[in-house]
Amino acid sequence: MARLGFVGLGVMGSRMVKRLLDAGHSVTGYNRTRSKAQWLVDAGMSPASTPRAVAEAADVTFTMVTNTDALRSVMDGADGLLAGMGVGKVHLDMSTVSPAFSRELAKRVEAKGAAMLDTPVSGSVVTLEEGKLTLMVGGDAAVFERVRPILLDIGPKATYVGGNGLAVSMKIATNLSLAVQMLAFSEGVLLAQKSGIERDVAVDVLVNSVIGSPMVKYRGPFVLQMPDEAWFNCGMMQKDMNLALEMGRQLGVPLPTTAATNEFLTAAEAMGLGEQDFAVVFDVLAHLAGVKR
């Protein structure tokens, strides 16, 4: 069992901590809004007042925050995580951020005598709670082997993809497909509905058809009833889509369906739907089709 730290106890991060606690690890955690993490404290997590305190208490520290700026804010400064890193420690960043920034941060961590891996995940709240979440890992292969047993306490598969920054690149490539699939699914539902088929019947047929990817199966029903709490809201998805479009320009890869889907996320924000799960692109398309939710 390892001494672990976790910074960023949101929808996904908090549930990961619960899995790590259930696996027998000791976990010290930090969240900007401490009250939201009280249930984890009740479950055995030790609370910390700063990211630095988390890193000092742990051998392996995870971060899972919303974007590049948020990661920079928890890493830097006198109370930042980087200040608590030392020789032999490991930083595992699960955030979806700029690959260039991830590589830069890895060098800064290395300068402290520690090591950093980018370890984003593929899946949702449902796949995490079912124990089916998968992980991608970028960085030193030997460090990956050291921490692999810990990662497998979060999900059943951790795939090494190469050097620092490559796992987060893989995550961005994965996430763009989620939004594109959701928009295509919405098109199919609305076409069926306007032809005279009940929406719930169309959803049932599509999620159980050949297009029923794991994402479509768990998120497709959101076109019937949105969750009370967004699993991954429009702003977070659009951040990833913009990272993908930036990578596409840098690497010379055209991303036409990504660009089109990104505009529907922009429209969702303009319609005041930005805090809802990105499946709300259905509502944007439905509005254009003259269909009420």
Q: What residues are labeled active site?
A: 171
Record the tokens describing residue 207, joined without a space. Answer: 């999620």
196 CB burial (10 A radius; 0-12, 13-18, 19+):
exposed
The three-state DSSP-derived secondary structure of 193-253 is HHCCCCHHHHHHHHHCCCCCCHHHHHHHHHHCCCCCCCCCEHHHHHHHHHHHHHHHHHHCC
Q: What is the rounded distance in angstroms from the CA atom of residue 238 to the CA atom of residue 56?
A: 34
Cβ neighbourhood burial of 291 (10 Å; 0-12, 13-18, 19+): middle
**165 three-class SS:** coil
